Amino acid sequence: MATKKKQVAKKKQAGSTVKVALLGFGTVGSSVARVLAASKFPGIELTHIFNRDVQRKRTSAAAKAVPASVIWTENIDDILNSKAEVVVELMGGLNPVEGWLRKALASGKSVVTANKQLIAYRGANLAKLAAANNVHLVYGAAVAGGVPVIPGMLQGLGGDQATRLSGILNGTCNYILNRMEGGADYTTVLADAQQLGYAEADPSADVDGFDARAKLCILSRIALHAELDPDAVTTQTISTIEAIDFTYAKELNCTIRQVSQAERNGKAVHARVAPMLVPLSSPMAWSHGTQNMVVVSGRFGGDVVFSGHGAGGEPTAVAVVSDLLAVAQDCSAVQLPIRKREVTDEFMAPHYLRFVVDDKPGIVSAIAGALAKVGANIDSLLQTPGHPKHRLPFVVTTEPSLTSTIEKAMKAIAKLDCMLEKPLCLQILVADDKPE
């Protein structure tokens, strides 16, 4: 009996179509249906759509792009027991989606998904299940939306030895920080982002770094051949950034971005997701709005930059449909060796420290003393005029120091009587940052 994978290829050669079931008819799912209807790709037939409260979706304006022959259902068994050969999953989350996709793969159906949390936490196991059943698991849309980062790394950079990757992987945070760069405050911009649909009612997945963390782990698996535990990767929220930080950043010829970075160093991977000061000369400083950007540093090929719209229904749909076409044509992805790696958030880098104090003599001396005690040196001190002495924001930058060293000093400094709020500590990203 031929395997399902070989059956798909055989059908294609015979001019038949590959039947596709769509799980989820939200922003991305409806965009996928629209792209399929507009492009009329030969060999692709949308046969089923699954969604909760399916009648409401079926009568929506977006459903006008769906062929009348498509079967709508809110019973997942209708999909799993159907003759669909490819399941396109656009619902997100781990449960119950993981169980459904395991059943689909085990029954000989290929899977195309944009589910970053699922691939970050379960991707390796699902890939083994797909291989065991001679079907495809493809997830090019799970990172950076319409930017072909994953296929670019697999097909275009598979022959290099990537040593480091860094990037802007969350369009919502990029939008918020871009607006704040222009003088807006965090609360106002977040509300605007929610109204525009960039941010959820609970924005923590975006602003606290969990969304970008999942994407970083997926990219680390591909680029660095390293399987990371997402929960072991340190994240830092952007919600503590204030307008004054952009003022000081500008004085340092920098801006602020949520940066995801990972670097192999021996058997460990140094990784973190956090707002960082980024030099204006860096490609990541040029990313605006909801754009994503990824820089991959290779041993032989040097730096390669991927950039484009990382959010939105249609850009993501383009990536999904591209994956679907690859599966329909039985295109196999490059297989690379992957090993589990320990994760540390330790980097050697200069740091930006912002304090808000009730000004009095000896504050700078106390801060310098706390830093000197752990072996860190001050590089510069910045204080913009016009702020009241009883609530004075000022900044200290350090010479390159270990992350843990600065954090130890910050715990001591936070206990000083003059501190009016928790000090802010941001890494300053430079081209030659090195893990330790």
Q: What is the average pLDDT across 135-163?
A: 91
Residue scoring higher pLDDT (199 or 64): 64
Pairing state between β 254-265 and 110-113: unpaired
Predicted confidence (pLDDT) per residue in 336-350, tens digit: 788 999 999 999 999
- Whether the per-residue pLDDT at 3 is higher than 50: the answer is no
Question: What pLDDT does 390 receive?
Answer: 92
pLDDT for the residue numbered 430: 84
pLDDT tens track for 261-315? 999 998 899 999 999 999 999 989 988 888 899 999 999 999 999 998 876 788 8
Q: How many CB atoms lie within 10 A of CB 218?
A: 23
Task: Select from 208, 304, 285, 273 the least CA-distant residue to 246.
Answer: 285
How far is residue 158's CA from residue 336's CA, in Å, rounded to a whole number?
8
Q: What pLDDT, on the 0 to 100 scale, is given for residue 239?
A: 97
| Inter-axis angle of helices 210-223 and 116-132, nearest 10 | 40
- Let me know: does 197 contact 313? Beta carbons within 8 Å: no
Residue 145: pLDDT band (50, 70, 90) is confident
Dump strand ranges (E) for 169-313.
Answer: 226-227, 234-235, 254-265, 268-279, 291-298, 302-309
Cβ burial, residue 55 (10 Å; 0-12/13-18/19+): exposed
Q: What would the mean pLDDT of 110-124 be, rounded to a whole number?
A: 96
1 has a pLDDT exceeding 70: no
Q: Is 413's pLDDT higher than 70?
A: yes
Q: How many CA atoms lie within 13 Å of 227's alpha carbon, on the beta-carbon side?
A: 12
Termini Cα distance of the chain: 54
Of 434, 435, 426, 402, nearest in space to 255 by CA: 426
CB 169 within 8 A of CB 180: no
- Strand, helix or coil at 308? strand
Q: What is the DSSP letter of 428?
A: B
Confidence of residue 16 (pLDDT cuts 50, 70, 90): confident
Active-site residue set: 215
Stretch (H or E) spanning 357: strand 351-357
Nearest-angstrom CA–CA distance, 399 and 18: 59
For the segment 214-230, the average pLDDT, to the nearest whole number, is 96
Q: Alpha helix locations (H) across 297-349?
A: 313-328
pLDDT tens column, 361-404: 999 999 999 999 999 999 999 998 889 999 999 999 999 999 99
Contact 227, 339 (CB under 8 A): yes
SS3 226: strand
- pLDDT higher than threshold 70 for residue 409: yes
Q: Are 269 and 220 in contact (CB under 8 A)?
A: yes
H-type helices in 46-95, by residue range? 54-58, 76-80
What is the rounded CA–CA span in Å between residue 272 and residue 216?
9
What pLDDT is recorded for position 11? 44
CA distance linking residue 376 with residue 369, whole number of Å: 9
Long-range contacts of 250-255 (CB under 8 A, 24+ apart): 251/382, 251/384, 252/277, 252/352, 252/380, 252/382, 252/397, 252/428, 253/279, 253/280, 253/281, 254/278, 254/279, 254/280, 254/285, 254/428, 255/177, 255/181, 255/280, 255/285
Q: Provide the strand spans (E) within 116-209.
A: 137-138, 162-168
- For residue 351, the surrounding DSSP H or E stretch is strand 351-357
Structure tokens at 378: 């001050």
Give residue 75's Cα distance to chain centre: 31
The tokens 């994760």 sit on which residue? 343
- State residue 7's pLDDT score: 46
Q: Looking at the predicted structure, is the pLDDT value of residue 327 above 70?
A: yes
Query: What is the share, in percent, of the chain residues with pLDDT greater than 70?
Result: 95
d(CA 23, CA 93): 12
| Neighbouring C-beta atoms of residue 60, cutoff 10 Å | 12
Predicted local confidence at residue 433, as pLDDT: 57
Mean pLDDT of 100-118: 97
Contacts of 142 (CB under 8 A, 6+ apart): 113, 114, 115, 116, 119, 150, 215, 218
Query: What is the structure's pLDDT at 435?
Result: 60
- In one letter, which amino acid is 261? Q
Residue 98 has pLDDT above 90, yes or no: yes
Percent residues over pLDDT 90 in the chain? 82
**Which DSSP letter does residue 152 get?**
I
Q: What is the mean pLDDT of the chain?
A: 92
Q: What's the whole-number mean pLDDT along residues 130-142?
A: 95
Q: 85-89, 155-159, 237-241, 269-273: which has the minimum mean pLDDT?
A: 155-159
Rounded-to-integer distance, Cα 392 and Cα 48, Å: 61
CA atoms within 13 A on the CB side of 327: 30
